[in-house]
Structure 1
Amino acid sequence: MAQAVASAGAEFIEVGDPLIKTVGVTAVERIKRAVPHTTVVAEMMSADWGRDQVVPTAEYGADAVFLIGPATIASVSAAVDAGRRLGVPILLDVPSGHVSAHWIADREQAGVDGFAITTDIDIGVGSNHPLARSQALHSWTRLPVAVSGGFSSTDRMVLRSPEWDVLIVGRSVTEATDPATAARLLTQLIHQPE
């Protein structure tokens, strides 16, 4: 799957938290070995042990680490310190419901390299659309903002939106009959001139 998506032009491949919990951080190593020239992001969704979320994944080849937003500033700072030491950027999930400009500023001061608005896979997009949240987030930070939300090639307005810097796409590719073709179509639509 990783090779198919990388050959289709994906710039990042996320090794999800469920996979890492199932088989361990060796999943990161196997994916990085399969696609050595593609940025591999390890999704480590734990609210504590910030340093220990970064060190093993970096040692197994992660190029960036994605942490859960409700983590304390202490955990975020520990993760950032480890990331700086190992040359691994830290992306922080933005929890819905209680995020403010102050919350963002505190995490920026802790040193995170970007933010992500994720959509709870069990809930779906619902009424709180991730692009609306991303718009607010962009008004509070200049750091990159990644957005997930069950997007596919049929979401043309989303693919053209200026409200995201990184679009996270999962099941519309991984569950496609032909994942390489699905990824290629998305990549072409995203990079297509207006």
Structure 2
Amino acid sequence: MIKFGEAVFGNEVKAVINLVIGKGKEMDEAFTNALTRTPCPLFANLRPNLIVKPLTLVVPRHPISSEIQDELLNGVIQYGVAKAIADLDLEEDLKIIATVSVPDVPLTTLTKRKLFQYYYGATKLAINRALNEYPSKEKIKKEKYRALHPLVGFRDVRLERPPYLQVALDVPTIENLEFILNALPKSDRIILEAGTPLIKKFGIEVIEHIREYFDGFIVADLKTLDTGRIEVRMAFESTANAVCISGVAPKSTILKGIHECQKCGIMSYLDMMNVENPINLYNSLKLKPDVVILHRGIDEETFGVKKEFSITKEDVDAILAIAGGVSPENIDELIKNYDILIVGRAITKSRDPGRVARMFVNRLGDDIEQYRLYLDEDEEIDIYSRVR
């Protein structure tokens, strides 16, 4: 039996522990291999000549390059780990391997006390998590769209929490683009679309320019009609999260574009503008797009063309988006049937694009962070029922 656990405590002085706990032949081999590695780890002890049971190895994650690190590793860090093991009163035939980070910080009473407390708590937490196989698959699914890594600073959004407002940036100048980007509210509900005219004028690199202002989900509206693989790869290399392929393209182009999106790990949009029977096209595709757009074009709106869409969420196993004719007056009705509302000129041509965007966003629901708990306050209390 081998199980794994992890815990991190602290900010400016930090304890990071990755832990293996178990028993049996496989664990004995892992323990012996860890003991003979270079640089050599140390047994966790409460004082010299008093190692704890179950036997525990403390292994530094990186080379020890200073006298301060050497003293911290052999002092408060291994003592914090050892004291936690002793207090847990675990089965003696278990073995534990704990890899630890060793900061290079001033040797003050305060920093030594902090590291002891952090490693004492982190060791107990990592063992509890390991023995209870935390986190569960359900926990990971719940957290994956809202987890924010402190050294990354942004979330990777995959459109798992609709509805969304997709702002179509079909603007003529970089100055106008920047004005809109600065005006838009900060919201998890907003998707940005690098519109076809914008990309045609400034090139696919305009996505990288948008990225300087916006770290969320960006769609490259290429309306790809040919060379599906090449265009998708170009958008991917410019950090687009999705590429829009035209539904009137040859089926081979559509399939190659969707396949390239899957290879690159980005999402595929299929724009059904001018497609007579969207359901038939969708059903005929061996590879399915992630998002289907029901689209009434700007020129159609200009000439007063009315188009009714009969496709619903029940017809496709995909995110359903609508473009054309979306307004604050019909938003409540539209979000019953569509996951993404695509709005262009109503926002980008407004004198106050931020105010108009907020009118839409405020009707879509709360942001992810609104009810975010501090760190892992939502961790299940009953996981500690087995070991204290």
Structures share fold, TM-score greater than 0.5: yes
2:278 and 2:299 map into 1 onto residues whose CA distance is: 24
Task: Pick from 169, 172, 175 the counterpart of residue 349 of structure 2.
Answer: 175
2:243 and 2:329 map into 1 onto residues whose CA distance is: 29
Q: Which residue type is aligned with residue 208 of structure 2?
A: E
Match of 2:272 in 1: 94
2:240 and 2:290 map into 1 onto residues whose CA distance is: 15
CA contact (8 A) 2:227 2:253 kept: yes
CA contact (8 A) 1:8 1:183 kept: no
Residue ranges of structure 1 left out of the alignment (5+ in a row): none
Q: Which residue type is aligned with residue 33 of structure 1?
A: E
Instruction: Specify which structure has the higher proportion of strand.
Output: 2
Match of 1:162 in 2: 336
1:71 and 1:102 map into 2 onto residues whose CA distance is: 15
Q: Structure 1 residue 126: deviation in Å?
A: 3.2
Q: Structure 1 residue 5: deviation in Å?
A: 2.3
Q: Which residue type is aligned with residue 273 of structure 2?
A: P
Q: Structure 1 residue 119: deviation in Å?
A: 1.2
What pairs with 1:45-194 in structure 2 (closer than 5 Å)?
45-96=223-274, 98-107=276-285, 109-124=286-301, 126-129=305-308, 133=309, 135-159=310-334, 161-191=335-365
Q: Deviations over 1:99-147 (max 9, x none)?
A: 153321123x223112001111011163213xxx1x4243421211110
Moved over 6 A (4+): none
SS of residue in 2 equivalent to 1:164: coil
Instruction: Specify which structure has the higher proportion of helix.
Output: 1
CA contact (8 A) 2:273 2:297 kept: no
Q: Which residue type is aligned with residue 339 of structure 2?
A: D
Against the structure 1 CA distance between its residues 100 and 56, is the aligned structure 2 distance closer, same or farther, given a 3 Å change threshold? Answer: closer
CA contact (8 A) 1:48 1:72 kept: yes
Q: Structure 1 residue 8: deviation in Å?
A: 5.1
Match of 2:206 in 1: 27
Q: Which residue type is aligned with residue 118 of structure 1?
A: H
CA contact (8 A) 2:189 2:364 kept: no
| Equivalenced residues, count | 185
CA contact (8 A) 1:91 1:116 kept: yes
2:330 and 2:297 map into 1 onto residues whose CA distance is: 18
CA contact (8 A) 1:147 1:168 kept: yes
Question: Which structure has the larger Rg over C-alpha atoms?
Answer: 2
2:232 and 2:240 map into 1 onto residues whose CA distance is: 9
Q: Which residue type is aligned with residue 307 of structure 2?
A: N
SS of residue in 2 equivalent to 1:110: coil
Say which structure, 1 or 2, has more relative contact order (CA 8 Å, 6+ apart): 1
Residue ranges of structure 2 left out of the alignment (5+ in a row): 1-179, 367-388
Q: Structure 1 residue 49: deviation in Å?
A: 0.8
Against the structure 1 CA distance between its residues 33 and 78, is the aligned structure 2 distance closer, same or farther, given a 3 Å change threshold? Answer: same
Quote the sequence identity (%). 24
1:101 and 1:7 map into 2 onto residues whose CA distance is: 35
Q: Structure 1 residue 165: deviation in Å?
A: 0.9
Greater shift, 118-127 or 20-29, is seen at 118-127
Match of 1:12 in 2: 191
Q: Structure 1 residue 34: deviation in Å?
A: 1.4
CA contact (8 A) 1:73 1:110 kept: no
Q: Structure 1 residue 9: deviation in Å?
A: 5.0
